[in-house]
């Protein structure tokens, strides 16, 4: 009976040349079904990790994509630069919500042929649970296996290793956030730049001179230029033209404790953001901040994990109002910032920390916010074990989904950190080896699947869907044949 009625309707609409009405009604039913699905699942994250269990199926394996030519990358309509529209990321007309991870070590392992395969493995395993963004170091200054051996002097083999990382990420549809320098001494950092200047005869007294000395700033600007204008030896695509790169990060966890007012660091962010954008106006840029509130927002200081956090020279709202900064970055480490507190207290802090930054990203900044590092250690004497860590991960994902459902600024999070098998010797207590951590992998996969629903929808401003006219034309053709 239903089939007879539908045939009659289609015949009638064909004769009138109004098949588009049928398409319109079908899309209305599809939108209604999607809303019901999302509403029905709106509390899926609230009942604990056991709801997901260990039997959550991962998405099908990601097919590697041929990227041997620059034309293949630049002509790929599905592999475009990520942009921002208000407080959302978009690719074309579709929203892009992030579920990702950190793997700072990729370039170093890629530089050694005996460990290069680990890079492929981690991308393969991450893609299998639906992760789409990886944050990694685009620096190694001085020391062992250095990328930059001295100012503007590079080890070409190590640079080729980074080329490999970018190329391999593209094959698994993984986008990269490349950080340009470290605040800390690991992999050189600002201390190495100051040391280079001292070795050149400058009388510098503090590592914080990195932010103000003209010579040192010149060293860093040269590195930025050399990185952004690098031509990938695997793909022949210049980094600044490659959509595989999601964003540039000015510095990992910058602090300037010698100037609690934040003026010195603010001036540096302004200068370097302008420098990056003058070379590469197309890619997104983020600061790399931990998210501590500073003097410009005294009412928010109580949101910090402790008093000291408001005195390290950073200022979340002020730093992210800089021209050229496209989205906000925040870290979440309750176990480090609140050492000795109970799991319940740390989870409560993480919730309030995220809510404050999502609200400020929406209200004060008008930009997306990504929690570019979040994690807790499961080492001995930590408040967390594998089970409670999963509860923490689930809580972070749940808060982000709450924001996503209402079109808020919570744009994603990157777990610190993911390792492939055989690299556990590098684990700092925060590492997750996905093939061994089945419950964690299930949680991450389930969150990825939920985001796919949102990422497949049109941007909120696109009323009836992306490519409406093309779809109507295709439907007319199918129904009339």
Q: CA torsion angle for 236, 149, 176, 327 (degrees, to 10)?
A: -120
CA distance 298 to 14: 66
CA distance 94 to 465: 9
- Contact criterion met (CB below 8 Å) for 104 and 417: yes
CA distance 211 to 194: 10
List, in sequence order, every residue forming a beta bridge with 99; answer none if it has no partner. 413
In three-state secondary structure terms, 206 is coil
- Contact criterion met (CB below 8 Å) for 362 and 408: yes
- What's the burial of 2, exposed, middle or buried (CB within 10 Å: 0-12/13-18/19+)? exposed
- Angle among Cα 305, 310, 313 to the nearest 5 degrees reads 135
Q: CA torsion angle for 255, 258, 263, 267 (degrees, to 10)?
A: -60
CB atoms under 10 Å from CB of 317, counted, come to 18
373 belongs to the catalytic site: yes
In three-state secondary structure terms, 378 is coil
- Cis (ω within 30 of 0) for the bond into 417? yes
How many Cα atoms are found within 13 Å in the side-chain-facing hemisphere of 114? 2
In three-state secondary structure terms, 114 is coil
Hey, what are 202's tokens? 């400058």
CA distance 237 to 246: 15
- Contact criterion met (CB below 8 Å) for 300 and 364: no
Buried b (16+ CB within 10 A) or exposed e, 88-102: bbbbbebbbbbbbbb
290 belongs to the catalytic site: no
CA distance 151 to 267: 22
Helix (H) or strand (E) holding 468: helix 468-480
Question: Which residue is catalytic, options 13, 286, 290, 373?
Answer: 373
Question: Which residue is catalytic, options 253, 286, 290, 362?
Answer: 253
In three-state secondary structure terms, 137 is strand
Catalytic residue list: 253, 373
């Amino acid at each position: 009976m239903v089939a007879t009625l539908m045939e009659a309707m289609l015949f009638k609409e064909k004769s009138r040349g109004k098949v588009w009405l049928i398409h319109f009604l079908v899309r209305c039913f599809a939108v209604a079904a999607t809303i019901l699905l999302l509403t029905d699942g709106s509390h899926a994250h609230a009942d604990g990790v056991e709801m997901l269990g260990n039997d959550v199926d991962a998405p099908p394996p990601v097919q590697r994509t041929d990227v041997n030519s620059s034309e293949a990358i630049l002509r790929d309509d599905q592999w475009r630069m990520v942009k921002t529209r208000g407080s959302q990321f978009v690719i074309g007309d579709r929203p892009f919500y992030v579920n990702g991870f950190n793997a700072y070590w990729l370039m170093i392992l890629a530089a050694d042929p005996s460990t290069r395969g680990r890079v492929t493995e981690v991308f393969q395993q991450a893609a299998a649970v639906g992760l789409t963004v990886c944050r990694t170091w685009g620096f190694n200054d001085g020391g062992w296996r250095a990328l930059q051996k001295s100012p503007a002097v590079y080890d070409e083999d190590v640079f080729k290793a980074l080329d490999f990382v970018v190329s391999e990420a593209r094959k698994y549809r993984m986008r990269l956030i490349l950080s340009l320098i470290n605040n800390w001494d690991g992999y050189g950092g600002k201390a190495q730049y100051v040391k280079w200047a001292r070795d050149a005869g400058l009388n510098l007294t503090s590592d914080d001179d990195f932010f103000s000395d003209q010579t040192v700033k010149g060293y860093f600007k040269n590195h930025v230029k050399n990185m952004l204008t690098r031509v990938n030896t695997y793909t022949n695509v210049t980094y600044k033209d490659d959509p595989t790169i999601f964003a540039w990060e000015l510095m990992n966890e910058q602090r300037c404790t010698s100037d609690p007012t934040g003026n010195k660091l603010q001036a540096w962010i302004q200068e370097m953001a302008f420098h990056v954008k003058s070379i590469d106006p197309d890619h997104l840029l983020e600061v790399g901040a931990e998210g501590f509130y500073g003097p410009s927002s005294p009412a928010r200081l109580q949101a910090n994990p402790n008093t000291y956090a408001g005195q390290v020279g950073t200022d979340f709202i002020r730093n992210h109002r800089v021209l050229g900064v496209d989205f906000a970055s925040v870290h979440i480490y309750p176990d480090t910032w609140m050492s000795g507190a109970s799991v319940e207290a740390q989870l409560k802090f993480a919730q309030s920390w995220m809510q404050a930054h999502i609200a400020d990203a929406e209200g004060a900044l008008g930009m997306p916010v990504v929690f570019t590092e979040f994690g807790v250690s499961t080492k001995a004497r930590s408040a967390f074990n594998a089970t409670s860590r999963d509860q923490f991960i689930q809580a972070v994902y749940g808060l982000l989904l709450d924001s996503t459902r209402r079109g808020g600024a919570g744009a994603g999070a990157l777990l610190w950190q993911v390792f492939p098998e055989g690299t556990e010797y590098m684990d700092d207590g925060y590492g997750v080896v996905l093939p061994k951590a089945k419950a964690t992998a299930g949680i991450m996969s389930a969150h990825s699947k939920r985001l796919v629903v949102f990422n497949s929808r049109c941007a909120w401003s696109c009323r009836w869907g992306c490519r409406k006219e093309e779809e109507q034309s295709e439907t007319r053709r199918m129904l009339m044949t």
